Amino acid sequence: MKAFTKITTKVMPLDRANVDTDAIIPKQFLKSIRRAGFGPYLFDEWRYQDMGEPEMDCTNRPLKTEFVLNNADYQGAEILLTRENFGCGSSREHAPWALEDYGFRAIIAPSFADIFYNNCFKNGILPIVLSAEQVDSLFKQVTAGYQLSIDLEQQSITPEKGEVLNFSIDETRKYRLYNGLDDIALTLLQSDAIKAYEVERQERAPWLFA
């Protein structure tokens, strides 16, 4: 998992509340569990005029030009600004896979669905909860090319203008994200202890290994 330390990047505004996981990555794409390659299908039904299918080449698909992902001014943004209850609906981990594969490193919203919020941390995305008033203020500031700096260590958001915003995060999640440790990598930090236990277990109960 890619570590998150500090980024300065453009912001993409998605001014919608209650964005569910089926909108983030529609159900037909759940057939694959490769964890990669979902970026072209992010927000598929909002982004394209036709219906997407797994492994479809999206290069020449007709676009819904009014949708923000199709606005050239916001291309390359690594921060998604959105409204309350983002990631609601079913608990599919494909949703953060698609967001991360597209290029988003952080999502700012007044609230997130619990399972989606947890899945973000497991996949290298920083979900930041700010008050509705703070999020509304950011929406008023964001225009094409607008940038924010996010510093995970300082737990701060620095806008182009105005005061620095601070956010809360669980220390364990912060440590894992800052160091790029998913569940497997976290377990492997204890590899010496695991190996020592396996040796001791085999000596104590050799019949289990016959």
Q: What CATH number has the domain bearing residue 32?
A: 3.20.19.10
Residue 103 confidence (pLDDT): 97
Distance, in Å, from the CA atom of 167 to the CA atom of 150, rounded to the nearest integer, reads 10
Residue 82 confidence (pLDDT): 98
In a domain, 198, yes or no: no
Q: What is the pTM of this model?
A: 0.89
Range of the domain at 104: 6-179
The mean per-residue pLDDT over the stretch 111-137 comes to 96
In a domain, 29, yes or no: yes
Residue 199 confidence (pLDDT): 79
Distance, in Å, from the CA atom of 124 to the CA atom of 147, rounded to the nearest integer, reads 20
In a domain, 98, yes or no: yes
Edge-to-edge strand order for the sheet containing 156-159? 126-129, 106-109, 79-82, 6-14, 147-151, 156-159, 165-166
Percent of the chain residues topping a pLDDT of 70: 100
Give how many domains the chain has, as a whole number. 1
Task: Tell me the pLDDT tens digit for each residue of 39-89.
Answer: 999 999 999 999 999 999 999 999 999 999 999 999 999 999 999 999 999
Long-range Cβ pairs for the range 169-172 (8 Å, 24+): 169/126, 169/128
Distance, in Å, from the CA atom of 83 to the CA atom of 15, rounded to the nearest integer, reads 6
Residue 101 confidence (pLDDT): 97
